[in-house]
Amino acid sequence: MIRPHLYSSDIAFTPTVKAIQGRHGSREAYARMEEEYGWQTHITPEIAGFIESQTSVFFATANEEGQPYIQHRGGPAGFLHVLDEHTIAFADFVGNRQYITLGNLADNPKAYLFLIDYATRQRIKIWGEARVVEDDPELLARLMPEGYKARGEQVIVMTVSAWDGNCRKHIPQRFEAADVAAALEERDRRIAALEAELAQLREPARG
């Protein structure tokens, strides 16, 4: 049975969840959150930028029995596209061809997108419903990252119902290998320039 949602966070805060919050002493704070501002139901420009900057995300679905499945999705920054304030879409690349996500979405449209940026220690949780588009080659071509060595098989389109951000607590700070390599390359260039400058300053002393 599908319950009508009084608050956007009810998509996750079921009566059972709220009862547990009550037992553990956090329900009062979350009740204030519900009344005062609640979770966002549309994608803001700031969050759209965060979404489209990700290179590695986790996409969750569940089958008709409720068994969850989480699949990693990755690509160059921009492989996730925010089409409008309620819609996210991405090209689904050919992978191991198990098609668990596609099968789940055929039986159960509920979906969840988890994004985490270790460098900035920020994470965003997105609830909604998703569908598979298999017969729109123009859309698939538009969503394929330019120059990326992958073959798009279909498109997944997610309609956002609500999203929320988590605090940074317990998120380890990690950096992309490419960002670290670029920082080290810049450091090495700076060291070489300083060494050359120092060598020039020492030349008169040798004479």
CB 33 within 8 A of CB 162: no
Q: Please, which residues bridge with residue 158 across strands?
A: 88, 130
pLDDT tens readout for residues 129-145: 999 999 999 999 999 99
Whether this prediction's pTM lies above 0.75 is answered by yes
Mean pLDDT over the full length of the chain: 92
Strands 68-74 and 56-62: antiparallel
Asked whether the predicted pLDDT for residue 207 surpasses 90, the reply is: no
pLDDT digits (tens, 9 = 90+) for 84-135: 999 999 999 998 889 999 999 999 999 999 999 888 888 999 999 999 999 9
Percent of the chain having pLDDT more than 70?
A: 96
Token pair, residue 47, equals 């969050």
* Tokens, residue 145: 């990252």
Task: List % helix, strand, coil for the chain (3-state, nearest 5).
Answer: 35, 30, 35
